[in-house]
Amino acid sequence: MSDWMKPEEVSAVTGITPGNLKKMRYERRGIPFYKPTLKTVLYDRAEVDRYIKATRVAAVA
């Protein structure tokens, strides 16, 4: 398993559509990303996991 994820993989894990991920990148918010080339967008798996964990909602007992 690679430490890098493409937007489609992030979408499958988070439920955020690829279009919304693109909008979030444009607005510089959400999950940190990397652009090793002009057309390549990658996400670090650990940062995606941190983003998911940061959205935790505690249940009320």
Residues 17-27, buried b or exposed e (16+ Cβ, 10 A)? eeeebeeebee
* Contact (Cβ atoms closer than 8 angstroms) between residue 25 and residue 41: yes
pLDDT of res. 1: 63
Cβ count near 10 (within 10 Å): 24
From CA 34, how far away is CA 44, in angstroms rounded? 8
pLDDT of res. 61: 79
The answer to whether the pTM exceeds 0.85 is yes
Q: Where are the domains of the chain?
A: 4-54
Any residues with CB less than 8 A from the CB of 11 and at least 6 apart, and which? 17, 18, 21
pLDDT of res. 55: 93
Q: What is the pLDDT along the chain (61 residues), one digit of tens a residue?
A: 689 999 999 999 999 999 999 999 999 999 999 999 999 999 999 999 999 999 999 998 7
Q: Enter the tokens of residue 59.
A: 């249940």
